[in-house]
Chains A and B, each alone.
Chain A
Amino acid sequence: MIATLGRFSLWLALALAVYGAVVSILGARRQRASLIESGQGAVVSVFGLSTFAVLLMEAGLVGRDFSLEYVARNGSTDTPLFFEIIALWGALEGSILLWIWLLALMSLIAVWLERKRQRELIPYVTAILLCISAFFLFLAAVPASPFTTIFPPPPDGRGPNPLLQNHPLMAVHPPGLYAGYVGWSIPYAFGMAALITGRLGETWIRTVRRWSLASWGFLTIGIIVGGRWSYAVLGWGGYWAWDPVENASLLPWLTGTAFLHTVMIQERRKMLKFWNVALVILTFALTIFGTFLTRSGILSSVHTFSNSSVGPLFLIFIGVILLISFALLVYRSDRLQAEGDLDSLVSRESAFLVNNLLLLGFAFSVLLGTLFPLLSEAVRGVKVSVGEPFFNTVNIPIGLALIFLMAIGPLIAWRHASLESLRRTFAVPLYLALLGTGISWFFGVRGLYPLLAFALSLFTVTTVFQEFGRGVIARRRNTGEGYLMALSKLTSRGRRRYGGLIVHLGVAFLVVGITASSFFKLEQEVTLKQGESLQLGRYQVRFDELSAWQEPHRFVVQGNFTIFNANQKVGEMRPAKRFYPSEQQPIGTVDIRSTMREDLYLVLSSFTQDGTSATVKALVRPLVMWIWVGGWVMVLGSLIAIWPDRRRAVVAEATSEYAVWQPGRS
């Protein structure tokens, strides 16, 4: 019943998506409002049908309907309800369904919001979004159907992959990433519609600004939470392994970041129009590429939970997108001439240009490093991998340069910054950064990269605080408001500017966390008998005993450890190994003791059957917490930047943003 209804709704949605795309274009060509509205109706129906399909799938999962192959593979009677619900995105077919639903939802919102404001663009936007939907609906209807049945149904299912039911963050990581991926479809659709209609002014850019910010924010959540999951579940003590799929999520993030910055140049100076469309196309293509890498199994990765046959279809889709989009872009290039010109090399424009070059260089090197095994095999016939060392060699210097630009970019004046204004803006942060470097040196920080990373992060943090401080003081002088009032008014009067600064602050925290935890970590692995301790940094870790018990869906062996800091007991830690019946090998569960200063990370590597000794791996990673803090600060900043402006209808936004405080012109 579920299967029949589900398949029917997906096929119907596919038919309606194709229909809607066709009538929207016809309607636009022939100026027929009824056809255009019919196309918009298709968007509503596709959303309704895909919602229905998702609900059916959830009913199958929660009701443990093992006649559905997907439920039999990813659910089981013993799986807790929560993990049964989120098993929707535990494997290929379900994640495609989630993708479809998110795309349908966002298409609906975008078309609904803009249908009156963007009359010329909206039929094409509708058509493009429905075409993308149609591709994914086709995947879900034919090669990767979530509603495939098996007969006779097995008595019980296999349950989700243990790695996926080990941590609640699985509820956030995939949907966050997918929302980030899917979200870029909207800017892409508007960009393409602008190319098709030739309406390449700043209107489409303003329309998609919020969408690109929101998608960027979701992508950030997805990536950071993914790192957190990797850290808390995989038991190797790290959060980023330059794994192909991790890289795939970073690529659109990098090009998207580049876009968010050059958009500002186009809005203010009417430059870089061609570049911006190209960046949107690239970012969208990279989101599809990311899904392709995740789901094709072409490169082995932590994410190849299921291999499948949809890979070639994705490649064809990416090829078609790139071909059509760039052909259109070249065709319209005469309308994409810059109206402004670069006035000076010491200006915000050129800072943004360099930032774009570096971000794209970063993306290119990540792409190259990821595909290197495939490329070298194809070109030279030998399989060569470039692992972590490659990414570190190339991307640490680029990253440091980017942090430097991140600090100066928002404060340097548009058009031309005078030496005097540079001095006034950057003198204090520069002195503080130097002072901070001295202090880090004093506390034993050595090495060019860590010192530079700390100095530049501190530089960024001070510029951000200085900027907020000056703004608040200027407001107080003019209006006599209290500090908090002035701060909140300041932020809300220039949400994009101050939201952006807060994002930069988050990045600085993140960089400090990554630097400290990578360069100054301690590691030790030893076998301990009962009562024996290991010493790592400030900590002594004493192995007390093993305990073991049966849970409904797994068997658990746990090591009990007592932690001392300078002979003072500070807590107990219990890393474990979990044995799932569906897996031949146990899955480790780490235990982490987190503080703002450092994390103590314990893994139970192995143990003897009689429980008298255990092999334990211990890590001390300083300042890891600041990575997650930085991530959430970044998300907060993008939320502030996205938040709708109540006065939007009255005052043109661009004029309101810089009204109170102009950088470099205090």
Chain B
Amino acid sequence: MTKRTKLLLGGGLIIVALAYLINSGIREASVYYITPSELKAKGKAVSDQSFRLGGMVVPGSLHWEPQTLKLTFRLTDGKEEVAVEHIGSPPDLFKEGAGAVVEGKCTADGPFRSSMIMAKHSEEYTPPKDGEGSAKHIHRPLAAPQGVQ
């Protein structure tokens, strides 16, 4: 083998390894954005998958119990409502009538169990347009997945 072939072979190996890493990373880490209507339409078949659910916090639905840190509320997209449960105090900009995105899983019969809340800082009473919150208001749960942060 010439040096050039060896070099190309080595480089090729690294690129294949990178491609493999990226591919498996995307597969493991993909989280779909959905609206409450889409979640209802999907039914219960999706109970083990993580989603990012975006909507507006329904006025009057927000309850927080400081002793147990249990936060419950409903998210709406104007058509459907989904009950959400979260353990932890509400993030600074999280409030009724404002947009929020939660990441978590559906439970079989109970509420959507959120592991992360992203409050959207918006004065207008609409669900966040792009279904994404801003990192400054991310509320991380206690059992956050470990890794570089």
Contact = CB atoms under 8 A, between A and B. Distances in A.
A240 interface: yes
Interface stretch (B23-31, B39-47, B55-63, B73-81): B23-31
Nearest to B19: A361
Contact of B149 (A388, A584, A586, A613): A388
B25 A301 contact: no
Instruction: Give the interface size bracket for A toward B.
Output: 35 or more
B108 interface: no
Contacts of B131: 383
Given A350-B7, A384-B33, A526-B69, A393 B28 contact: yes
B10 A613 contact: no
B132 A386 contact: no
A394 B6 contact: no
Interface in A420-462: none
A11 interface: no
Given A300-B130, A518-B147, A615-B69, A365 B95 contact: no
Nearest to B94: A585
Contacts of A387: 29, 31, 103
A525 interface: yes
Given A234-B136, A615-B69, A514 B148 contact: yes
28 contacts: A236-B138, A236-B139, A240-B149, A300-B134, A302-B135, A342-B7, A345-B6, A357-B14, A364-B18, A372-B26, A383-B32, A384-B33, A386-B25, A386-B26, A388-B29, A388-B149, A389-B25, A389-B145, A390-B26, A394-B18, A396-B147, A398-B18, A518-B149, A525-B89, A527-B67, A585-B92, A615-B69, A617-B89
A605 interface: yes
Contact of B21 (A354, A393, A586, A613): A393
Nearest to A608: B66
A299 interface: yes
Interface in A343-400: 343-345, 350, 353-354, 357-358, 361, 364-365, 368-369, 372-373, 382-398
B25 A390 contact: yes
Contacts of A300: 120, 128, 130, 132-134
A587 interface: yes
Given A301-B134, A302-B135, A392-B147, A613 B66 contact: yes
Contacts of A238: 140, 149
Contacts of A524: 142
Contact of A357 (B11, B69, B128): B11
Given A345-B3, A388-B145, A588-B92, A398 B21 contact: yes
Contacts of B52: 385
Interface string B1-24: 001001100110011001001101
A524 B134 CA distance: 23
A243 B140 CA distance: 15
A518 B136 contact: no
B21 A394 contact: yes
A218 interface: no
Given A365-B22, A527-B66, 7 more contacts: A300-B128, A387-B103, A518-B149, A524-B142, A525-B69, A606-B89, A615-B66
Contact of B29 (A301, A353, A389): A389
A343 B28 CA distance: 41
Contacts of A514: 148
Interface of B: 3, 6-7, 10-11, 14-15, 18, 21-22, 24-26, 28-33, 52, 64, 66-67, 69, 88-90, 92-93, 95, 103, 120, 123, 128, 130-136, 138-140, 142, 144-149
Contacts of A515: 148
Contacts of B133: 300
Contacts, number: 161
Contact of A394 (B14, B25, B136): B25
Given A240-B148, A518-B149, A588-B92, A390 B29 contact: yes
Nearest to A350: B7
Interface in A220-262: 234-241, 243
Contacts of A605: 88-89
Interface of A: 163, 234-241, 243, 299-302, 304, 342-345, 350, 353-354, 357-358, 361, 364-365, 368-369, 372-373, 382-398, 514-515, 518-519, 521, 523-527, 584-588, 605-606, 608, 613, 615, 617
B138 A241 contact: yes
B32 A393 contact: no
A427 B15 CA distance: 30
Contact of B14 (A234, A237, A354, A523): A354
A239 B149 contact: yes
A404 to B, nearest CB: 13
B10 A586 contact: no
A341 B28 CA distance: 41
A237 B67 CA distance: 22
Contact of B132 (A299, A527, A613, A615): A299
A301 B135 contact: yes
Contacts of A236: 138-140
Contacts of A521: 146
A353 B136 CA distance: 38
A345 B24 contact: no
B22 A394 contact: yes
Given A361-B14, A390-B29, A585 B95 contact: yes
A369 B64 CA distance: 34
Closest 10 CB pairs of A and B: A390-B29, A605-B89, A389-B29, A393-B25, A392-B147, A238-B149, A383-B33, A361-B18, A527-B66, A300-B132
A385 B50 CA distance: 11
Nearest to B134: A300
A364 B19 CA distance: 10
